[in-house]
Structure 1
Amino acid sequence: MTEPHKRYDLARLIFGILFIVILILACFWVVQPFILGFTWAGMVVIATWPLLLKVQTMTWGKRMPAVIIMTLLLILVFVLPFGLVINSIVDNSGQLVDWVSKPDNWHIPKLVWLEDIPMVGERLYKGWQSLTADSGKALVASVQPYAGATTTWFVSQVAHVGRFMLHGTLMVVFSAILYYKGEAVAKGIRHFALRLAASRGESAVILGAQAIRAVALGVVVTALVQALLGGIGLAVAGISYATLLTVLMFICCLAQIGPSLILFPSVIWLYWTGDNTWATVLLVWSCIVVSLDNVLRPALIRMGADLPLLLILSGVIGGLLAFGMIGLFIGPVVLAVSYRLISAWMDEVPEPTEQLPDLPPSINKE
């Protein structure tokens, strides 16, 4: 005896889905001001969770003192330095824009040392003299408007101090909560992933955490080391605004541009001003700092997760371009989870044999 087909109430199904979609959009609208701060907090907590456990063992196994210590470290490492630098830029923005915008502040050096370069020195010196004829007024006039506009743009971008401090405060507050309730939050996320996609969902969540930790170790730590070493070189060589340039160098390293965008123009500036000794020292130091990521970054990424280096770097650059600074972590997580899911799906069937199967004979049509 055949069972009758179950009839569905199409209108009820449509209205049910519509209600769920509206509810999701309403929840997103309510929590929208906190999404960025909570996302940053989640990335920071996942990356520094092993450090929290070590601190907890040092505080006799108690969680609250460890949470307080980690929160203070976040304030000292993330919020306070950037806040001081941004405040310094805003306070001195008027003087900086006025200095760049006035042509009298621009002077073209003679670069007599070019003549000492073997074989091509005399030609380079004559070319520079012809380029800077009439005290270089034409060269300065062509460069100065772009420099003034660029400086004004950077100052206007940094002027959003209130928004930065708001997200920084939310990041610290949410990080403290996640540090204290980390196990419960992780268990809830894993439970949702199990309900959504069984064991593969849980594996995807764990892989996402490993990818975040790999980015934190490989990209962020490498950028921090390069920026600190580069900043020390700038300060020792006597470059002005070394602290500000160190922060800009750190941002460039995060964006995978590298510290060369800050270090090599500083070397050129020292040669420009005639300080050839320190310029040479800074040049050698800059070459060491620039090449450091080729050794340090792959080793640190391997410590965080066993993922292809090209996959992580592609996710970092693509995520940064697509989502901004938070995409630094979102991009590698998306690519890493997708890569592992596709690999698991492909591994469900055996690999093809090394030899191609014999092709059927061709059919000749007469």
Structure 2
Amino acid sequence: MQPSFKLDSALSRGMLDVLIKAGLIAALVIFSFQVFQPFQELMIWSVILAVTLYPLQRWLKVRTGLKDGHVATLIVLFVLLVLLAPIYLLAINIGDSLDSVVTLLKSDTLSIPAPPESVATWPLIGPRLYAAWQSVSGGLSQVAQHLLPYLKGTGRVLLGAAASAGGAFLLFIAAVIISGIIMAFGENGERAAQRIAIRVSNVERGKHIATLCTATIRAVAQGVIGIAFIQMLLIGVGFVVKGVPGAGILAIAILILGIAQAPATLITLPVIAYVLSTEGFTAATITFAIYTFIAGLADNVLKPLLLGRGVDVPMPVVLIGALGGMVVKGIIGLFIGPVILAVAYNLFWQWVDQQEPESASESPE
């Protein structure tokens, strides 16, 4: 009885030690995550930018012979100079568009005409359409009173979207700067990523997983988000220079369509028709129409150059990542979501494919 009692006592002490250690580790992990959580989005975006721009870092280092820190600084300054001016113009235009809408609503200078009597005679929808039209006819203030219960929720959504866009703009600047710091220590970071992947898996699979994650991030960031972003800048700056109403909002819509792999001509063609119909056929409007039409087709030239570099990510995965990311994290989720979901998708199928040889070897002959 005594040896058995000692054995049970030793097992109890061992179990207690394991539980205490596990509890301490769990508390440390939870506390560390809470401390890191405010910087989570910033660091994810910074890593995505650093991984995407690192091939340029290597290329410039070989060509110029400069140190890693100097090359990273040049890349950060170039990105900020090239992107900040167009993004600033679009942001200012979005603010001006919202101010114009508010001014128009306050002035009550526009009105919705009363419906013609013939509308009531239309089959099926005529009477209901006539009644709804009649209820909102008049000045915009009267219309706003009818729609006030619905406008409150819409206004909150618009204000939230505007705040999210402003926060994403500032976060983007900080992410570009931090990505330069990461690129300055790129070789150490690459070795660290491989060590972590090897520790999670094994030597062969670990290196392959690290390579797969890097290739997926670059493929999605360059081939999907990068193309949509470039196209937004090309078309959006043209809208701002021409003075198209709501140019900034239209540019954001083009960005969303680009990430969703929808053609930008869904927006550019109506805008071209609007400009030509309101301003006529002049040298300026024709030049704008040609430029906008070509910029709307720029993705057809950029996709073969930047997309599909050995990484197969279905477009529904990218679309779900973009829309889901935007719902969860706002504007910044529109960029981060597709990358994270694409990496998870490829890692999942990599795990699935690793089971096939084992299953085949265990099958009876």
Q: Provide TM-score, normalisation by structure 2.
A: 0.70
Distance 2:244 2:350 in 1: 47
Question: Does residue 230 of structure 2 align to residue 230 of structure 1?
Answer: no
Question: Would the alpha carbon gap of residues 89 and 172 (structure 1) be closer, same or farther in structure 2, given more than 3 Å must change?
Answer: same
SS in 1 for 2:109: helix
**Do 1:38 and 1:170's aligned partners in 2 also have CA atoms closer than 8 Å?**
no
1:175 to 168, 175, 179: 179
**Structure 1 residue aligned with 2:338:** 328
SS in 1 for 2:200: helix
Q: Tell me whether 1:188 sits opposite 2:181 in the alignment.
A: no
Shift of 1:331: 1.1
Partners of 2:286 and 2:96 in 1: how far apart? 33
Deviation at 1:40, TM superposition (A): 0.6
Report if the CA contact (8 A) 1:217-1:300 is conserved: yes
Q: CA deviation at 1:15?
A: 1.9
C-alpha deviations, 1:17-39, integer Å up to 9, x for none? 12111101111111222221111
> Is 1:202 matched up with 2:207?
yes
Q: Is 1:307–2:317 an aligned residue pair?
A: no
- Partners of 1:212 and 1:333 within 8 A in 2: yes
Contact 1:90–1:155 at 8 Å: present in 2 too?
no
Q: For 1:200, give the aligned amino acid.
A: R
Is the 8 Å Cα contact of residues 223 and 250 (structure 1) preserved in structure 2?
A: yes
Q: Tell me if structure 1 keeps the 8 A contact 2:219–2:306.
A: yes
Matches within 5 A, 1:222-301: 222-231=227-236, 234=239, 239-242=244-247, 245-256=250-261, 258-260=263-265, 262-267=267-272, 269-270=274-275, 274=278, 293=299, 296-297=302-303, 300-301=306-307
Call closer, same or farther: CA 1:33–1:149 in 2, change over 3 Å: closer
Of stretches 201-210 and 93-102 in structure 1, the one that deviates more from structure 2 is 93-102
On the 8 A contact 2:89/2:240 being kept in 1, the answer is no
Task: State the match for 2:60 in structure 1.
Answer: 55
Q: 1:284 to 1:196 in 2, by over 3 A?
A: same
- Structure with the bigger percentage of helix: 2
Change (3 A) 1:225 1:174: closer
Q: Which residue of 2 aligns with 1:338?
A: 348
Q: Is the 8 A contact 1:298 1:309 kept in 2?
A: no
Q: How high is the sequence identity, in percent, across the aligned residues?
A: 23
Give the C-alpha shift of residue 73 in structure 1.
Answer: 2.2
Return 5+ residue gaps in structure 2 as ranges: 1-6, 114-125
Unaligned runs of 5+ in 1: 109-126, 352-366
State the shift of 1:207 in Å: 0.7
Report matched runs for 1:73-222 at 5 Å. 73-79=78-84, 81-87=86-92, 89-90=94-95, 93-100=98-105, 102-105=107-110, 137=137, 141=143, 153-159=157-163, 163-164=167-168, 166-198=170-202, 199-222=204-227
Aligned to 2:74: 69
Q: What is the letter of the counterpart of residue 172 of structure 2?
A: G
Amino acid at match of 1:297: K
| Deviation of the 1:245 alpha carbon | 3.2
On the 8 A contact 1:214/1:301 being kept in 2, the answer is yes
Note the C-alpha offset of 1:212.
0.6
- Deviates most, 225-234 or 170-179: 225-234
- For residues 152-210 of structure 1, the C-alpha deviation after alignment (integer angstroms, 9 at most, x for no partner) is 74355324677446523431332121011111112112112111211323322221111
- Whether contact under 8 Å (2:94, 2:247) holds in the other structure is no
Q: Secondary structure at the match of 1:104?
A: coil
Alpha carbons 2:108, 2:139 under 8 Å: kept? no
Match of 2:22 among 8, 17, 20: 17
Q: CA deviation at 1:274?
A: 4.6
Aligned to 1:117: none
DSSP-derived class of the 1:302 partner:
coil
Relative to the length of structure 1, the TM-score reads 0.70
The number of residues matched between the two structures is: 329
